[in-house]
C-alpha cells in the first residue's frame, strides 16, 4: 500500500469515527437544569438536584433509546443569571429542555427564551400562578401559592380564627399567597389586623414580630419561601409569640420538611395547607423518603418532590414522542399526563399546563421523637385557583 493510500484510509477512518461520535451526541437528549445552588435559596437547588439524581439512579439514564444528559448550572436565584444561562444552554449546548427555576423571577426570566426557541421550560420550584401564562412552552410540577392559601383561608374561618396578622415575603408568590388567603378568609367573615411584607433577601423578622404581637391576632398567616422557615420560627419563639398563643398558619413553605426538625417545640401544633409532607402515608412516599435519606443524609422537602416529578415528566414525555425532541410534540405529550407522585396522585392540566394535585391540611406533631407535618384532611385534585379567566 502506498503512503498516499494509507493516509487516505486513515483519513477515512477519522471521518468515520467523528461521524460516529456526532451520531452518539445527536442521540443524547440534553436537559439544562438551572438552580440556585448557592445563596439564600440554595436549599431549593440542593433538594431538586438530589431528587433528579435519585430518579435517574432508579430509572436509568436512557429513555426511548436516547441517553439523558443533565447540564447543571447555578443561577444563585439571580434572574439575570438565569436568563444568560438559559440562553447559553439553548444556543451553545442545544438542550431540549430547560428545567429547575428556584424562584418566580427566575422562571419569568427564562420564559421569552423558551417561547422563542420552542424549548419546554419545566418549572420545578416556583409558585406564582401567572408563570404558566408567560409562555406556551412552560409546564409546572411544583405548586401554586393560590392552591394552598385559598384552602387555609377557608380552614381558618371554619376553625374559629377571627383575627389574623399577615407576614409575607415581598415578591410575586408572597403577593399571591396574601391575596388568595385574604379573599377566602375575609369572605368567611375574618378580619386582617396587621399586614407586613418582608424582603426576599436576608429578611430580619424581629422588628415586625413585635408589631404582630401587639396587634393580638388569633393567628399569624405566614408565607416565606423554602429555606427561610427555620430562621422565622427561631425569631417567632425568641419574641415569645408562641407563648402569647399566636399560632402560625399558612401555606406549608414555612414548615418545610428539611428544616422542621430543627425548629423545636415552638413548631408543635402549627397547621398549614400544602401539597407534600414527608409523613404522607403512601408506600411510594415511604420508599422515596427512605431512599432520599439514605443517599443524602436528610429528609426530602416539597422542593425535592417538585424536582422528582419534573424529571419524571420529562422522561414520560420523551417516551411518548419516541425520543423526538420537537418542543411542540413534547408539550403536547405532557398535557394531560397523570401519574403517582410521592405527594399523591398528580396530573398536568391540558388547558393551563399547570399541576393539578391534592392539597392536605397538616398539623406539626411529634412522631417517634421527630417533628412531622401530619396530614389530617385532603382536598382532592385541586387546580390552580389563580388562573385569569379567559
By CB under 6 A, what part of segment 149-208 binds ligand PHB?
173
Among 74, 121, 218, 253, binds ligand PHB (CB under 6 A): 253
Indicate whether 258 belongs to the interface with ligand PHB (CB under 6 A): no
Q: Which is nearer to ligand PHB, 153 or 225 (CB)?
A: 225
In the complex, minimum distance from the CB of residue 79 to ligand PHB, in angstroms, rounded to a whole number: 11
Q: How many CA atoms lie within 13 A of 120 on its CB side?
A: 32
Q: Which residue among 45, 120, 127, 203 contacts ligand PHB (CB under 6 A)? A: 127
Contacting residue, 103, 109, 263, 346, with ligand PHB by CB under 6 A: 103
- Residue in 43, 96, 104, 373 binding ligand PHB, rule: CB under 6 A: 104
Assess 128 for contact with ligand PHB (CB under 6 A): yes
What's the min distance (Å) between Cβ of 173 and ligand PHB? 4
**Residue 313 touches ligand PHB, criterion: CB under 6 A:** no
Q: Which stretch binds ligand PHB (CB under 6 A): 3-11, 120-128, 325-333, 358-366?
A: 120-128
Question: Applying CB under 6 A, does 141 fall inside the site for ligand PHB?
Answer: no
Per residue, the 3-state secondary structure of the chain, as one string, reads CCHHHHHHHHHHHHHHHHHHHHHHHHHEEEEEEEECCCCCCHHHHHHHHHHHHHHHHHHCCEECCEEEEEEEEECCCCHHHHHHHHHHHHHCCCCCEEEECCCHHHHHHHHHHHHHHCCCEEECCCCCHHHHHCCCCEEECCCCHHHHHHHHHHHHHHCCCCEEEEEEECCHHHHHHHHHHHHHHHHCCCEEEEEEEECCCCCCCHHHHHHHHHCCCCEEEEECCCCCHHHHHHHHHHCCCCCCCCEEEEEHHHHCHHHHHHHHHHHCCCEEEECCCCCCCCHHHHHHHHHHHHHHCCCCCHHHHHHHHHHHHHHHHHHHCCCCCCHHHHHHHHCCCEEEECCEEEEECCCCCCEEEEEEEEEEEEECCEEEEEEEEEEEEECCCCCCCC
**Which range touches ligand PHB (CB under 6 A), out of 121-129, 156-164, 277-285, 313-321?**
121-129
Q: In the complex, which residue's CB is closest to ligand PHB?
A: 225
The phi and psi torsions of 357 (rounded to 5 degrees) equal -155, 165
Confirm or reject binding of residue 301 to ligand PHB (CB under 6 A): no
Smallest distance, Å, CB 383 to ligand PHB? 18
Q: How far is the CB of 103 from ligand PHB (least distance, A)?
A: 3
* Burial 88-126, CB ≥16 within 10 A → b, else e: ebbeeeebbbbbbbbbbbbbbbbbebbbebebbbbbbbb
Report in angstroms the alpha-carbon separations of 19 from 27, 28, 140.
Answer: 12, 14, 37
Q: Does 310 bind ligand PHB (CB under 6 A)?
A: no
Least Å distance, CB 226 to ligand PHB, is 4
Is residue 29 at the binding interface for ligand PHB, with CB under 6 A as the rule? no
Shorter beta-carbon distance to ligand PHB: residue 173 or 386: 173
Please tell me whether residue 43 binds ligand PHB under the rule CB under 6 A: no
Please, which residue, 66 or 274, has the CB nearer to ligand PHB? 274
Q: How near is the Cβ of 385 to ligand PHB at its closest, in Å?
A: 16
Least distance (Å) between residue 91 CB and ligand PHB: 26
Site string (224-243) toward ligand PHB, x via CB under 6 A = -xx-----------------
Residue 277 in the binding site for ligand PHB (CB under 6 A)? no
User: Closer to ligand PHB at the Cβ: 121 or 253?
Assistant: 253
Residues that bind ligand PHB (CB under 6 A): 103-104, 125-128, 173, 225-226, 253
Amino acid at each position: 500500500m502506498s503512503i498516499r493510500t494509507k493516509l487516505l484510509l486513515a483519513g477515512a477512518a477519522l471521518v468515520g469515527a467523528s461521524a460516529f461520535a456526532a451520531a452518539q451526541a445527536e442521540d443524547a437528549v440534553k436537559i439544562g437544569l438551572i438552580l440556585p445552588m448557592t445563596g439564600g435559596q440554595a436549599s431549593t437547588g440542593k433538594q431538586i438536584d438530589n431528587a433528579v439524581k435519585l430518579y435517574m439512579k432508579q430509572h436509568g439514564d436512557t429513555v426511548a433509546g436516547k441517553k439523558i444528559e443533565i447540564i447543571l448550572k447555578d443561577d444563585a436565584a439571580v434572574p439575570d443569571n438565569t436568563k444568560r444561562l438559559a440562553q447559553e444552554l439553548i444556543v451553545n449546548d442545544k438542550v431540549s429542555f430547560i428545567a429547575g427555576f428556584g424562584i418566580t423571577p427566575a422562571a419569568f426570566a427564562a420564559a421569552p427564551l423558551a417561547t422563542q426557541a420552542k424549548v419546554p421550560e419545566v418549572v420545578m420550584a416556583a409558585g406564582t400562578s401567572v408563570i404558566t401564562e408567560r409562555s406556551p412552552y412552560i409546564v409546572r410540577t411544583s405548586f401554586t401559592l393560590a392552591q394552598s392559601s385559598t384552602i387555609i383561608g377557608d380552614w381558618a374561618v371554619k376553625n374559629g380564627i377571627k383575627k389574623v396578622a399577615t407576614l409575607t415575603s415581598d415578591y410575586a408568590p408572597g403577593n399571591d399567597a396574601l391575596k388568595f388567603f385574604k379573599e377566602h378568609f375575609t369572605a368567611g367573615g375574618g378580619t386582617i389586623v396587621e399586614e407586613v411584607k418582608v424582603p426576599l433577601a436576608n429578611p430580619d423578622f424581629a422588628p415586625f414580630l413585635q408589631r404582630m404581637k401587639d396587634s393580638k391576632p388569633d393567628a399569624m398567616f405566614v408565607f416565606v419561601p423554602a429555606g427561610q422557615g427555620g430562621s422565622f420560627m427561631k425569631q417567632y419563639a425568641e419574641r415569645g409569640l408562641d407563648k402569647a398563643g399566636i399560632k402560625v398558619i399558612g401555606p406549608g413553605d414555612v414548615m418545610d420538611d428539611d428544616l422542621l426538625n430543627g425548629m423545636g417545640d415552638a413548631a408543635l401544633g402549627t397547621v398549614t395547607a400544602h401539597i407534600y409532607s414527608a409523613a404522607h402515608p403512601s408506600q411510594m412516599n415511604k420508599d422515596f423518603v427512605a431512599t432520599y435519606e439514605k443517599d443524602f443524609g436528610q429528609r426530602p422537602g416539597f422542593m425535592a418532590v417538585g424536582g422528582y416529578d419534573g424529571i419524571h415528566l420529562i422522561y414520560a414525555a420523551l417516551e411518548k414522542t419516541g425520543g423526538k425532541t420537537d418542543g411542540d410534540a413534547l408539550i403536547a405529550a405532557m398535557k394531560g399526563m397523570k401519574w403517582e407522585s410521592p405527594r399523591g396522585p398528580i396530573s398536568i392540566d391540558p388547558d393551563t399546563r399547570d399541576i393539578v394535585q391534592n392539597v392536605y391540611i397538616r398539623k406539626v406533631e411529634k412522631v417517634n421523637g421527630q417533628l412531622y407535618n401530619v396530614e389530617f384532611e385532603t382536598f382532592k385534585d385541586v387546580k390552580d385557583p389563580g388562573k385569569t379567566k379567559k
